């Protein structure tokens, strides 16, 4: 017997502690709660967006369910450390997406005009869409390599999770390079990522609370 790396799939012969469907439910609930926390924070520090809450809650539930399902398939012996690592991987993907946007695109709209107009104009979304598609593929393949995906079902789960996250959350990240940001405006970008981290922190905590029994064991071993 030898210790198995915590961030990898323990193997097909190890019986799962929970079915992936169990994590889908917890992920969806955690996704809605994290959106609720985001909406409250947005109202306190920026403005009222409660009219958008139903749509955002649906997106949060979809992203959470996708993450929960893919995590349940990739980690048959779930732990708090692997759950944290899995989420941090997607946080890093968003940061890389923002960096790629800044390097590739030239600004076509000022930050003041963007903020005054509400949601991003369709032309900005259209320009950022190809970059998002590239990152869906890159994120899926990197996750498959990093977490040692086995089989088509695991690959499909990673692709679904990446697609949901990048399309529902990543589009706003992908257009950062298209926005002219003055020197002090970068604080607003930092604040934007702060809200993303808030979303993920609440999501992590709520999921871990719901799955506190299943995520308690840390000693994963395999033949």
Does residue 221 sit within a domain? no
Using alpha carbons, list the distances in angstroms from residue 209 to 25, 82, 113, 203, 206: 13, 15, 41, 10, 5
Does residue 179 sit within a domain? yes
Greatest Cα-to-Cα distance within the chain, rounded to the nearest angstrom: 61
Q: What is the mean pLDDT of residues 165-180?
A: 90
Does residue 1 sit within a domain? no
Does residue 8 sit within a domain? no
Does residue 178 sit within a domain? yes
Parent domain of 157: 19-214
Band (pLDDT 50/70/90 cuts) for residue 212 is confident
Q: What pLDDT sits at residue 1?
A: 41
Asked whether 34 and 205 are in contact (CB, 8 A), the reply is: no
Our count of domains for the chain comes to: 1
Does residue 9 sit within a domain? no
- Residue-wise pLDDT tens digits, 99-155: 899 899 998 887 777 766 666 778 899 999 999 999 999 999 999 999 999 889 999
Q: What is the mean pLDDT of residues 193-207?
A: 89
Q: Supply the mean pLDDT for the chain.
A: 83
Is the predicted pLDDT of residue 220 greater than 50, yes or no? Answer: no
């Amino acid at each position: 017997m030898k210790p198995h790396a915590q961030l990898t799939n323990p193997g097909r012969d190890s019986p799962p502690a929970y079915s992936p469907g169990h994590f889908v439910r917890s992920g969806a609930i955690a996704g809605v709660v994290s959106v609720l926390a985001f909406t409250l924070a947005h109202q306190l520090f920026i403005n009222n967006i409660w009219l958008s809450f139903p749509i955002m809650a649906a997106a949060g539930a979809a992203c959470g369910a996708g993450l929960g399902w893919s995590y349940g398939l990739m980690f048959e012996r779930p732990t708090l450390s692997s759950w944290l690592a899995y989420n941090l991987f997607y946080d890093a993907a968003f940061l890389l997406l923002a960096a790629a946007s800044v390097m590739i695109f030239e600004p076509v709209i000022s930050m003041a005009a963007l903020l005054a107009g509400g949601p991003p104009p369709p032309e900005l979304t259209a320009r950022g869409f190809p970059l998002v598609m590239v990152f869906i593929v890159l994120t899926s393949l990197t996750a498959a390599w990093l977490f040692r995906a086995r089989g088509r079902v695991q690959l499909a789960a990673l692709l679904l999770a990446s697609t949901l996250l990048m399309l529902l959350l990543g589009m706003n990240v992908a257009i950062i390079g298209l926005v002219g940001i003055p020197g002090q405006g970068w604080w607003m970008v930092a604040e934007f990522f702060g809200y993303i981290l808030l979303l993920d922190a609440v999501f992590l905590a709520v999921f871990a609370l719901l799955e506190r029994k299943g995520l308690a064991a840390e000693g994963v071993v395999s033949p």
